Amino acid sequence: MKIILRVCAIASVLVLGACDTGPKGSVGFSLPDGDVEQGKANYIALGCNSCHVNDQVPQLDSAEPAVISVTLGGETTHIKTYGELVTSVINPSHRVSRRQSLDVATKSGDSRMTNLNDVMTVTQLIDLVAFVQSSYTLSPFSSSKYPVYWIPESAKASKE
Ligand code: HEC
């Protein structure tokens, strides 16, 4: 019985996490429309291009060869949501903690991305997110072809 209760508790935590309905979830999250052009200017002003490659922005010239080079934008099969992008900018270690790649994270699982939370304004963040999102294009997803299933006459009749 104890084991069943434990399994239920873990399952409900996983389900809640997946649905983002907990107190720290993203339900109700919504950003006002940002200005893409201003976001691009902020991206350069804040030096995002010292670590990120984006084909709409020139790389930041630095004396040191780039150690970190993470591409932002381009083709994707899943457009990044505002929630994902805001999280990436203001809480970068949220995702890397599980990746543990030393190119992007330290041994302790912290992102190597600069924390700009005390530097940028909320308006800058909103415009940045609008710009970064606009640089992704959704690539056509080729789905597998499945045969059409036979629908029994009785089911068809009940639908009509
Ligand atoms: C010092 C280097 C550095 C700077 C500066 C930097 N980043 Fe990053 N950024 C990273 C690294 C490393 C990652 C990949 C690991 C991670 O997700 O933290 C990353 C990841 C991201 C991601 C998630 C990408 C994905 O595909 O999941 C976004 C979005 C992002 N950065 C936006 C920005 C923006 C906007 C700026 C400027 C305000 C910025 N970054 C400045 C290093 C940097």
Whether 104 is in the pocket of ligand 1, judged by its Cβ within 6 Å, is: yes
Q: Are 124 and 42 in contact (CB under 8 A)?
A: yes
Whether 130 is in the pocket of ligand 1, judged by its Cβ within 6 Å, is: no
- Ligand 1 atom with least separation from CA of 103: 12
SS3 assignment, position 37: helix
Predicted local distance difference test score (pLDDT) of residue 60: 81
> Domain residue spans in the chain?
28-139
Min mean pLDDT across 80-84, 128-132, 155-159 is at: 155-159
In tens, the pLDDT along 103-139 reads: 778 877 788 899 999 999 999 999 999 999 999 998 8
CATH topology of domain 28-139: Cytochrome Bc1 Complex; Chain D, domain 2 (1.10.760)
Cα 98 to Cα 110: distance, rounded to the nearest angstrom: 10
- Ligand 1 atom with least separation from CA of 42: 38
**pTM as predicted:** 0.78
Min mean pLDDT across 5-19, 24-38, 77-91, 112-126 is at: 5-19
What are the residue ranges of helices labelled H in 46-113?
82-90, 93-96
Whether 53 is in the pocket of ligand 1, judged by its Cβ within 6 Å, is: no
